[in-house]
Amino acid sequence: MKICVLPGDGIGPEIMAEAVRVLRALDLKAEMEEGLLGGCAVDATGTPYPEATQKLAREADAVLLGAVGGPKWDGLPREQRPERGLLGIRKDLNLFANLRPAILYPELANASSLKPEVVAGLDILIVRELTGDIYFGQPRGIETREVDGTQQRVGWNTMIYAEYEIRRILKVAFEAAQKRGKKLCSVDKMNVLECTQLWRDIAEEVAKDYPDVELSHMLVDNAAMQLVRAPKQFDVMVTGNMFGDILSDEASMLTGSIGMLPSASLDANNKGLYEPSHGSAPDIAGKGVANPLATILSAAMMLRYTFNQEEAALRIENAVKKVLAQGLRTGDIHEPGTKKVGTREMGDAVIAAL
């Protein structure tokens, strides 16, 4: 098992240290090599996805990533920003399928943003397309041009999907639904955007190959509302890059905290990049208080999807459940009656539970 470890920026190194310790505690035959991605890479090499990291990532079976970005780099030209490193590695490795499971652990029912009775038993899988859409569409830019007789700055991006991109992500989503509750909700904005009209048409076509899965469609604004009104109506949701980014952050709060939401980004052969859905949390970086569970759970997803080690993945997930049952909580999920712990203590507890 060759794993490329990219801690990144902000809380990235803190949460990654715990995920790596958990993996080591499992005593797997894993070779882990660290590289630079994001702001730390910009500082060291001038670019957010340096060649050495490209080589490491391409040669590895899987990449485990912390988070990138932070205010320190926000003023840089776009090509040098940490986030471009993240988009770069996703595109480079063709990681088009982003799986973001929003699962509520029963112990966190009171930490959820919703009432316990609305979220009890919540288990949603968001399948987000990750290498297309307005994130990558050309043309894009900012320039000064004449508009209505005056010189003005204009900014533009292009929302674009080719048929093959829509088909392959829908296939992933239908197959995931087949293995779960057999319900797939495709989220679009077909009432306004041509790009997503195509998405809906293709979803209908692909559905013919999966007669056992019940396909529904929902407009994204309604989906955002339904997620906080009655989230348990969803089993698998599939959507484009931009809508998926937003809906998955929204879904994370149903589980108690964004610090609980892991993710897998897969190519066609299950080579994958695994990262928490959250960012580098500059507001709490360096304090040792970040929740490492999303990263630890991402490592479990890595064992499941890339290495087919279901048993090891379950061991990690069960250890996380046990630690929550023991009443240990980082600040983001802390509530009266539970014990507040830091990042390292949470990692220690997961390892002890293993």
Ligand X SMILES: NC(=O)c1ccc[n+]([C@@H]2O[C@H](COP(=O)([O-])OP(=O)(O)OC[C@H]3O[C@@H](n4cnc5c(N)ncnc54)[C@H](O)[C@@H]3O)[C@@H](O)[C@H]2O)c1
Ligand Y SMILES: CC(C)[C@H](C(=O)O)[C@@H](O)C(=O)O
Residue 283 binds which one of ligand X, ligand Y, Mg ion, none, with CB within 5 to 8 A depending on kind? Answer: ligand X
Tell the smallest beta-carbon distance from residue 338 to ligand Y (Å). 28
Under the binding rule (CB under 6 A), the answer on residue 86 touching ligand Y is yes
Tell the smallest beta-carbon distance from residue 279 to Mg ion (Å). 7
**Given the complex with Mg ion, which of 7 and 279 has the nearer CB atom?**
279
**342 carries a ligand binding annotation:** no
C-alpha separations of 56 from 31, 65, 271 in Å: 12, 13, 14
Non-local CB neighbours of 37 within 8 Å, separated by 6+ positions:
6, 8, 48, 49, 53, 65, 68, 82, 85, 86, 89
Which of 112, 255, 277, 330 touches ligand Y (CB under 6 A)?
277
Token pair, residue 284, equals 């709490």
**Given the complex with ligand Y, which of 79 and 311 has the nearer CB atom?**
79
Which region, judged by CB under 6 A, interacts with ligand Y, from 81-89, 113-121, 172-180, 287-295?
81-89
**245 carries a ligand binding annotation:** yes
**75 carries a ligand binding annotation:** yes
Under the binding rule (CB under 6 A), the answer on residue 245 touching ligand Y is yes
Under the binding rule (CB under 6 A), the answer on residue 57 touching ligand Y is no
| Residues involved in catalysis | 135, 189, 221, 245, 249
Q: How far is CA 353 from the centre of its chain?
A: 25
Token pair, residue 238, equals 């599939």
Q: Which amino acid makes up residue 232?
A: K
The residue with its CB nearest to Mg ion is: 245
Non-local CB neighbours of 32 within 8 Å, separated by 6+ positions:
3, 4, 5, 20, 23, 64
Q: What single string gives the DSSP state of each residue in 61-121?
A: SEEEEEE---GGGTTS-GGGSHHHHHHHHHHHTT--EEEEEEE--GGGTTTSSS-HHHHTT
Which parts of this chain interact with ligand X (CB under 6 A)?
A: 11, 15, 67-70, 83, 86, 258-259, 275, 278-284, 290-291, 294, 332
Tell the smallest beta-carbon distance from residue 216 to Mg ion (Å). 24
**78 carries a ligand binding annotation:** yes
Q: Which residues bind ligand Y (CB under 6 A)?
A: 69, 83, 86-87, 245, 277, 279
Residues in the annotated binding site for NAD(+): 70-83, 279-291
